[in-house]
Amino acid sequence: MRVLVVEDEKKVAKALREGLEAEHYDVRLAASGEEGFFLANHETFDCVVLDLMLPHRDGLEILTTLRKRGLQTPVLILTAKDTVNDRVRGLDSGADDYLVKPFAIPELLARIRALLRRGRPDQILKLQHEDLDMDLVTRRVVRSGQALDLTVKEFEILEYLLRHVGRVVSREMLTRDVWRVAARATPLDNVIDVSIARLRRKIDDPFPVKLLHTVRGVGFVLRRERG
């Protein structure tokens, strides 16, 4: 999977490259709008990550031009402007998704996965990791043959973690995708922490191998590893 990252801020570009390469993407960096435009026109990518605030050439302008030329590649825009108008303008210009700076790398990775999955219908009816099984139809959760009694919210969190298994899920992602709250100023972090603690009590406490881990300062991850 090839990803083009158009970002002029060196540190952010480096972080994006390393974050994406850790997920085994083939990353090309463009430090200016012109370079990004040239690369997007002359090479093939599976996904483009485009910063909107670029020197010389506005990101939106590049995007509009690329779309006019028939470029079909999914584009994720990065912006520091988060008013509704800015988002609408971005999406109208042909972006497939947007992320507001400062964003969390795990979230960016999740968005890119979603963009690359797009068009392929989600036929998953069962999720499974190690000895943990989740049936999305009967909404039953079983670990080591033992049925677990989860609340609706806990089920949704676990489902989200299972869908992003092995990858870090940030509190912001949970806020938006599980709690479905768009306002970033809402103080949900405590609620998330408590809910995660309760989920952990149910799925991990009775078992020797722990699956749900907290990554300090970033979020949570579901995987089998060092406790």
Residues that bind other proteins (CB under 8 A): 83-84, 102, 153, 171, 179, 182-188, 190-191, 194-195, 197-198, 215-218
- CB closer to other proteins, 49 vs 188: 188
- Which residue do the tokens 């083009």 mark? 4
**CB of 198 vs other proteins, minimal distance in Å:** 7
**Neighbouring C-alpha atoms within 13 Å toward the C-beta of 131:** 12
User: For residue 126, what are the β-bridge partners?
Assistant: 135
At position 201, the amino acid (one-letter code) is R
85 or 138, CB closer to other proteins? 85
The helix, strand and coil proportions of the chain, stated in percent and rounded to the nearest 5, come to 40, 20, 40
Q: How far is the CB of 98 from other proteins (least distance, A)?
A: 16
In the bound state with other proteins, the residue whose beta carbon lies nearer, of 89 and 153, is 153
- Report, in Å, the least distance between residue 175 CB and other proteins: 11
Least distance between other proteins and beta carbon 215 (Å): 7
* φ, ψ (nearest 5 deg) of residue 70: 90, 15
Closest CA to 140 of 124, 160, 158, 117: 158
Q: Which is nearer to other proteins, 133 or 159 (CB)?
A: 159
